Amino acid sequence: MSMRVPDPSRLRPYGDRLGDGVVQLSFTLPLPRSSATVAAARRYAEKMGIRDPYVTLAEAIAPDFTFFIVYGKSTHEVDATLPVAEEAADTALTREQIDAEIERRFHRRLVVLGCALESDAHTVGLDAIFNPKGFAGDSGLERYQGLDARNLGAQVSVEHLVRLARDAHADAILVSATVTQNEIHIRHLTDLVDMLEAERLRDAIVLVAGGARVDHALAKELGYDAGFGPGTSPSRVAAFLLEELSRRIAASAREAR
């Protein structure tokens, strides 16, 4: 018996042997529990490309709703060799290294403002990045010697933020965006870009978005310099700010020559 090797260009999920395509999923159908509803759930899984769907739970979770857990074998394959969306540059530097580099390259503290915009009242992610305690053992931005990091909290209006950024000569703005209903976070994120541009501040400021459902591609599309998803450590953000601001200084020095 020989070990088979996965073919990344024709990949399937792995359950307990290569290529079996086993997936687990759960969903609710808005119908009372009945044999017809269970059959519909099975057919629905089949339509998703799942062979031999095994309905392991069909629970009436409300009079008109049935909750399903389904296991099955996906018939789909995926090419895992395709190029991936760009991610924000990831430099592994410690806080001490970043502080030392800021001192060496800038000879001053970098001003970093952070907040959640307008109706967004969620601060868990923002606090994890800013509070000295940080996240998973990685100190927050407020602990950096080289950063003048100001956590403005939640529900900050775009107008107020832009005014503060101008008054404080901010080097960077970090916006924490939590997805709520109706894609409202997208509107607030773009409002900020528009207003910074209108005030001719956009080029002077590194603009970063973060949040549970934010990624680099989305942030770039909205006109931000970078986007960071869940689990991002403060040092990763700080390293990005360092590199991006250094790059800009180098670029403007080239222009000046």
Partner 1 sequence: MLPKLGLSEDSVRRCRSLARDVADGVRRETELFTTVSTERSVLRLLGVEGVDSEEVPIANRAVEALAAAQKLARGVAVWLGSALAAGDADPQRAAQRMTDLREASAIREHPRWREALSPFVESALARIRDNRKERERRIAGHAPEELPLLYAIVATGNIYEDIVQAEAAARAGAQCIAVIRSTAQSLLDYVPFGATTAGFGGTFATQENFRLMRRALDALEEELGRYVRLVNYCSGLCMPEIAAMGALERLDLMLNDALYGILFRDINPLRTLVDQNFSRRINAAAGVVINTGEDNYLTTADAVEEAPAVLASQFLNERLALDAGLERWQIGLGHAFEIDPGLEDGLLFELAQAQMAREIFPDCPLKYMPPTKHMTGNVFRGYQQNALFALTSVATGQSIHLLGMLTEALHTPLLQDRWLSIDQARAIRKNARHLAEEIEFRPNGRIIARAREVLEGAERILERIARAGLFQALADGVFAQTSRPRDRGRGAEGVLRRAEDYSNPFLEVWAGQAAGAAR
Which residues here bind partner 1, judged by CB under 8 A?
A: 26-28, 59, 61-63, 65, 67, 118-124, 127, 131, 133, 153, 155, 178-182, 184, 212, 230-231
Q: Is the CA virtual torsion 125, 127, 130, 133 positive or negative?
A: negative
Cα separation, 213 vs 242, in Å, equals: 24
**Closest to partner 1 by CB, 116 or 241:** 116
CB of 136 to partner 1, least distance (A): 8
CB-CB contact of 118 with 158 (8 Å):
yes
What percentage of the chain's residues is helix, strand, coil (to nearest 5)? 40, 25, 40
User: DSSP alpha helices (H): ranges in 48-174?
Assistant: 95-106, 124-130, 158-167
**Closest to partner 1 by CB, 157 or 246:** 157
Looking at residue 24, its amino acid is Q
CB of 197 to partner 1, least distance (A): 25
CB of 143 to partner 1, least distance (A): 13
Catalytic residues: 133
Cα separation, 181 vs 45, in Å, equals: 27
CB of 62 to partner 1, least distance (A): 4
**Closest to partner 1 by CB, 186 or 201:** 186
Tokens of 218: 């989305």
CB-CB contact of 24 with 96 (8 Å):
no
CB-CB contact of 220 with 86 (8 Å):
yes
**Closest to partner 1 by CB, 2 or 182:** 182
